[in-house]
Structure 1
């Protein structure tokens, strides 16, 4: 079976930023501490995605597309133009990235819980968030 080298149309709607905003709106946080914790996780995911996209998440053939976008709009954030397909690639790399930070056990477990919840959230809405290429 030969892999098709197809580029996703960019910008993707909904973007990662929109998906995460929807997740925050859907999350049941009852205390200020839980809201702050959730916002920390969301901010961290966006930071990881925005900084790691070009070097660790994009395939070689996708880099030219990204560079062309940056030429037109140099200040654009990657999480504002990429969608769930690229975001899911980050989750494959997250265990190693979180380990590098040297988070303590409780912090690592908190991140893992939120990561699992976000993945479940995307999976439950896969028809809305993912392109079907079958």
Structure 2
């Protein structure tokens, strides 16, 4: 059984290179949450939906039109984000916050921001390995996702927090 999974992954593994600045962002994110016990203050502004919309605007200005494929990819990203956030993208220390923030029919992409969206890009190659698409389509998708990450990198100071908030009086880490 394991060999079958490896075959799928090897044949259809989409590589999405994460720029070094965003890799550092991921490491800092991991440190804040898992080592310092700090969380991203919710709701985030800009939220994932805002970031996807800004990218759509950016692409349409740059290309002179909105390509249908970009819209579809962004819808797919939003859908993957909303479905995978509670299962794959949260650290244990963030689960309580999720249950408090996401109630009724609230979409996680309207509450969470770039920090959690970036985590999705780490998981995407694994998730996309099971999608039944032509190799050529996967190559185009990989190109568009790489462009999206470049967009996130160029807006890093606007999209990402530089510090997270302490949880229940956990504020001694601020002194350095």
Establish whether TM, by shorter chain, passes 0.5: yes
Count, aligned residues: 130
Unaligned runs of 5+ in 1: none
- How far 1:82 sits from its partner (Å)? 0.5
Instruction: Identify which of 53, 59, 69 aligns with 2:101.
Output: 69
Q: Which runs of 4+ in 1 moved over 3 A?
A: 28-31
Aligned to 1:107: 137
Aligned to 1:90: 120
For 1:3 and 1:80, the matched residues in 2 are separated by 27
- Summarize deviations over 1:12-59 as a string: whole Å, max 9, x none: 00001001100000003456xx62100110010000000000000001
Aligned to 2:67: 35
RMSD after superposition: 1.8
Q: TM-score, normalised by structure 2?
A: 0.69
For 1:124 and 1:75, the matched residues in 2 are separated by 32
Q: TM-score, normalised by structure 1?
A: 0.90
- Summarize deviations over 1:89-112 as a string: whole Å, max 9, x none: 000011111111122111111111
